[in-house]
Amino acid sequence: MICSVLDIFKIAIGPSSSHTMGPMIAAGRFAAKLDSSKQLDRVALIDAEFFGSLGLTGRGHQTDRAVVLGLSGQHPSTAQPEHCRALLEAVLTTRILRVLDRHDVPFDLERHLTFHQRESLPLHTNGMRFRALDVDGSVLACEEFYSIGGGFVITAEGASTGETSTAPRDVPWPFDSGESLLHRCNESSLKIHELVLENETCWRSVAETRGALLDIWHVMETCIRRGLSTEGELPGPLRIARRAAALRRDLDSTAEHRSVDAMARLSAYAIAVNEENAAGHQVVTAPTNGAAGIVPAVLAYYAWHHDSANDDRIVDFLATAGAVGMLYKRNASISGAEMGCQGEVGVACSMAAAGLTAALGGSNEQIENAAEIGMEHNLGLTCDPVGGLVQIPCIERNAMGAVKAVNAAQLALRGNGRHHVTLDQVIATMRQTGLDMASKYKETSLGGLAVNVPSC
Ligand code: SF4
């Protein structure tokens, strides 16, 4: 099943799509269900448990705060940082949480949220369970959710049936692999971005999709500019100093050789986004928060530094990148907890390479080639965030991913589209590698840099 391109690119708040955004959405759904079943007024207590990767790195990824916000009625796409800060402060101070902004329950982050370090729920490593109890301690409602990467949340029922959060639609040009995507394009004489826009008419008009993608680009642009002008330290015990603003100042004051300058700017843009993400600010899942810097950095590199850039080409870029993201989501996973970082930074690199190739006028075959190159050289990339924070190696890794994506696009554009390894083969390899990868390298902070670099 193919999801919408607007499921791949969603407005989110940092630092993690699976560990912050997903739990926030799940908590919001749980609260909304209590309300719609007319049970909310009887709720005397809410508690939640987190399992697997969420249990191990949830606190570092601010899962606890995300749950407070979700239960309060906040959604990642509309949450305002100042308001969220005030809400959190109030709960931390008063230990009272106002569910959906109207029903008070006692809430202590330490007592009512449990992070299980050794237990997992059966269907996905990012499992969580919410309970609501009445004044006698009887359970009014209990529900399990899974945060499956990129802010997608499914229930236990959905996980067992393989459903995703997107309502299935009969799109005019269904595709379930790189091969079938190219086949559909040949059959219809459409470019990949045109085919995506036609498919999106199942959900909204072409004009609305174009407008929504341009809105997504404006959120990305704003995020880069904010990151490039913000100084100071990132939150958390690592006390990491932000670098993007200093990089921009340095670039603005020196006239480097053009190619060096392009790489340095790409890196600054990616770092700017991921510093904003680490600070808990607004980003776009592309396809996840941890890898949120690569697509915007490469798109900014195109949009701000190429004379041919215009709104049409920007839509081409995002629609094409979205189609590639759909293939990874369908045939592997975009969850670092399932695939390691190849499923986040690797996928984002592949998407950005495809998008840039499209924007620069590449053929469908060259786009598929660029997407393949973008992943091939990220295979095996582990997820080992130091201190469970989305900072080291995540922020710098996005800069590396952006540079690699531009290189992949350039290589593909200089070829004729014929190549040895197909996109489908590399996606299958990524999936198998992710399944074989030891769990300590999959967003648990139990291996790699996370154990070799002290976090405080
Ligand atoms: S190492 Fe990669 S997958 Fe893991 S949290 Fe960081 S960006 Fe995400």
| Ligand 1 atom nearest 341 alpha carbon | 3
Q: Give the binding-site residues of ligand 1, using a 6 Å CB cut-off.
A: 290-291, 336, 341, 344-345, 383, 385, 390, 393-394, 397, 443
Distance 394 CA to ligand 1 centre (A): 5
φ, ψ dihedrals at 145, nearest 5°: -130, 160
For 260-315, write each residue's pLDDT tens digit.
Answer: 688 999 999 999 999 999 999 999 999 999 999 999 999 999 999 999 999 999 99
Q: How much is the CA Rg of the chain, to the nearest whole Å?
A: 21
User: Scanning the structure block, which residue is given the tokens 């570092």?
Assistant: 60
Q: Which residues contact 16 (CB under 8 A, 6 or more apart)?
A: 61, 62, 288, 289, 290, 390
Could you tell me the pTM of the whole model?
0.94
Residue nearest to atom 1 of ligand 1 (CA): 383
Residue nearest to atom 2 of ligand 1 (CA): 341
- Write b or e for each residue in 34-49: b if 16 or more Cβ atoms lie within 10 A of its Cβ, otherwise e: bbeeeebeebebbbbb
Distance 450 CA to ligand 1 centre (A): 11
Tell me the residue type at 58: G
What is the average pLDDT value for the chain, to the nearest integer? Answer: 95
Tell me the residue type at 85: R
pLDDT at position 156: 81
Tokens of 317: 């870029």
Tokens of 184: 């559909």
CA–CA dist 383, 321 (Å, integer): 23
Question: What percentage of the chain has pLDDT greater than the value 70?
Answer: 96
127 neighbors 63 (Cβ within 8 angstroms): no
Distance 114 CA to ligand 1 centre (A): 23
Q: What is the DSSP string of 186-215?
A: HHHT--HHHHHHHHHTTTS-HHHHHHHHHH
Distance 113 CA to ligand 1 centre (A): 24
In this predicted structure, the answer to whether residue 79 has a pLDDT above a threshold of 60 is yes
Find how far residue 393's CA is from the centre of its chain: 16
Residue nearest to atom 4 of ligand 1 (CA): 383
Which residue ranges make up each domain of the chain?
15-161, 178-451
For 96-108, write each residue's pLDDT tens digit.
Answer: 999 999 999 999 9
User: Which DSSP state fits 168?
Assistant: P
Superfamily for the 15-161 domain: D-3-phosphoglycerate dehydrogenase; domain 3 (3.30.1330.90)
Find how far residue 24's CA is from the centre of its chain: 14
Distance 272 CA to ligand 1 centre (A): 16
